[in-house]
Amino acid sequence: MKKYTLTNDEIQKWIDSDKEFSDLLVEIQNLNISVNEQVAIAFHRISDFFGLPQMPEDIQDAYEDEEEDIDNDWFEQTSVYEQFGLLKYLHDDQDLRGVLLSAIYFVKNGYVADTDEVYKKYYSKNKLPIFGIGFKNINSNVELVFIKKDESWFDLGCKMFIRYE
Phi and psi, residue 126, nearest 5°: -135, 145
Burial bucket for residue 79 (CB in 10 Å: 0-12, 13-18, 19+): buried
- DSSP E strand stretches across the chain: 2-3, 111-112, 132-136, 143-147, 158-163
Q: DSSP 3-state assignment of 163?
A: strand
Ranges of residues in the chain whose predicted pLDDT is under 50 = 62-63, 65-72, 74
Look at the chain and report how many structural domains it folds into.
1
Which pLDDT belongs to residue 76?
66
In the chain, the N- to C-terminal Cα span, in Å, equals: 17
Which pLDDT belongs to residue 69?
46
Closest CA to 44 of 77, 81, 13: 81
Which pLDDT belongs to residue 126?
92
Which pLDDT belongs to residue 13?
94
| 2-3 and 111-112 strand pairing | parallel
Burial bucket for residue 153 (CB in 10 Å: 0-12, 13-18, 19+): buried
Residue 116 structural domain: 2-163
Task: Assign 3-state DSSP to the chain and report helix, strand, coil percentages, each to 5.
Answer: 50, 10, 40
